[in-house]
A and B are shown apart, each in its own frame.
Chain A
Amino acid sequence: MAYNWNWGVFLQPTATGDDSTYLGWMFYGLKMTIGLSLSAWVIALLLGAVVGVLRTVPNRWLAGIATAYVEVFRNIPLLVQLFLWYFVMPELLPEKLGNAFKQTNPIVQQFLSSMVCLALFTSARVAEQVRSGINSLPPGQKNAGLALGFTLPQTYRHVMLPMAVRLIVPPLTSEFLNIFKNSAVCSTIGLLELAAQGRQLVDYTAQPYESFIAVTVAYLLLNVVVMFGMRWVEAHVRVPGYIGGK
């Protein structure tokens, strides 16, 4: 049976009568994916930096807590974490807060759960990169900072982190790409992001090839944009004359 290609389907109004075209649905999903991934990424970077630094400090308790954090969020499957945040967490909150959450707009509930889930999962991975960046600095750098009279936090701030962060731009790029891909998991709790919209399109238009090709192209474009963005960052923070670690 010959497949009936119809790229014009994207410009048709949707069958739900919601005053949108199927292309409009795709853009809605794309916006959701971008908004979710970017907000989770920002949180993941901040949290990951803090946890990664704590893993390297000379304090057994702080380092131990940070290690536990990383192990928990890195090793529980993302899908399970998502269900925990979305279905279980509201029940564990103090009753008032839990109820308030359950009464908000379902889209907000889905978005918040997804954002927290992706952010914490990714922060554990960012923390590992930050830690390995710090550990790959020449050990004398820390001593040089301390010897000048910097406190340990000042030494991290002015000496170790600026170089460690530069070293980990390439692995962070792949974490950044991952967060976009991982965000597709959030369709399982009903969040209408890009992948979910693709599936909806299949159901409503019976044009699966066009729908999935469009979704694929959208993810690829996101990839390309992120990669060029991170290349720009990498070139921008390059240190003149610096050739690798010692």
Chain B
Amino acid sequence: MISMNKVSKHYGSFQVLADCTTEVHKGEVIVVCGPSGSGKSTLIKCVNGLEPFQSGEIIVNGVSVGDPKTNLSKLRSTVGMVFQNFELFPHMRIIDNLAIAQVKVLGRNPEQAREKGLKLLDRVGLRVQAEKYPGQLSGGQQQRVAIARALSMDPICMLFDEPTSALDPEMINEVLDVMTELAQEGMTMMCVTHEMGFARRVANRVIFMDQGRIVEDDSKEAFFGNPRSERAQQFLAKILHH
């Protein structure tokens, strides 16, 4: 579904990504972790072309992301993305946040789009909030809406960039629960997160990044059992003690 081959990116002489190679199969859940500044966000944004990269190749569902002839908008409409800061559109009601791209990008009629939006809000337990504005919801609620918004496009896979990092602790679980459910339904997911409990529950593989490199790319059992690199061991020790 997603395959990356020797993806590299640099700003001037600063290497953000170095020879990143990995693969996400259909139905797999991959957790990406690593210290701040190690290039996790950049890597995940390369998958749907939000960040350009200078060399290497990324293929999503048979389409090459880096190819200038690729219709990136079309590709992105098939890849759901959830951000650290939710990024709901503040001037639109919740239901319109869910409907607008269905109408403007997929060409669905507004009634259908609304129906679908309400169904998804139901699914994340927020149907009663449909007519509110994002600023009137809590962070956890906003993030669940953001997930529902991404799902409204019927994506073939989902990208998450630290979806719980901006949340108060008591709201983290409501978001992780939605993600867990999604994973159990067979959604292909690539999640940047430091929630190791989530990784243990649903991940198939864990990728550990450091200084723009993929240092570990292991099954979850191998990663938690016995990470090979010292950096990953240190990192795990640090976050598991928190």
Contacts and interface: CB of A to CB of B under 8 A. Distances in A.
B153 A149 contact: yes
Interface string A134-176: 0000101101111111110010001100110010000000000
A158 B101 CA distance: 10
A143 B104 contact: no
A163 B89 CA distance: 9
A144 B74 CA distance: 14
Given A163-B90, A241-B135, A241-B136, A151 B50 contact: no
B91 A162 contact: yes
Query: Mostly helix, strand, loop or mixed at chain A's interface?
Result: helix
Contacts of B78: 149
Given A148-B149, A151-B73, A241-B136, A143 B90 contact: no
B115 interface: no
B145 to A, nearest CB: 12
Contacts of A159: 89
A246 interface: yes
Interface string A34-71: 00000000000000000000000000000000000000
B87 A144 contact: yes
B175 interface: no
Contact of A141 (B45, B87, B101, B106): B87
Nearest to A245: B90
Contacts of A148: 76-77, 101, 105, 149-150, 153
Nearest to A160: B89
Interface string A219-246: 0000000000000000000011111001
Contact of A143 (B87, B105, B137): B87
A138 B50 contact: no
Tier of interface size on chain A: 20 to 34
A163 B90 CA distance: 8
Contacts of B80: 147
B87 A241 contact: no
Interface in B74-101: 74, 76-81, 83-85, 87-91, 100-101
A241 to B, nearest CB: 3
B66 interface: no
Contacts of A150: 73, 101, 104-105
A146 B76 contact: yes
28 contacts: A138-B87, A140-B83, A140-B87, A141-B87, A141-B89, A144-B88, A144-B89, A146-B50, A146-B73, A147-B76, A147-B79, A148-B101, A149-B74, A149-B77, A154-B105, A159-B89, A162-B89, A163-B90, A239-B91, A240-B135, A240-B136, A241-B90, A241-B132, A241-B134, A241-B136, A242-B91, A242-B133, A242-B134
Interface of A: 138, 140-141, 143-151, 154, 158-159, 162-163, 166, 239-243, 246
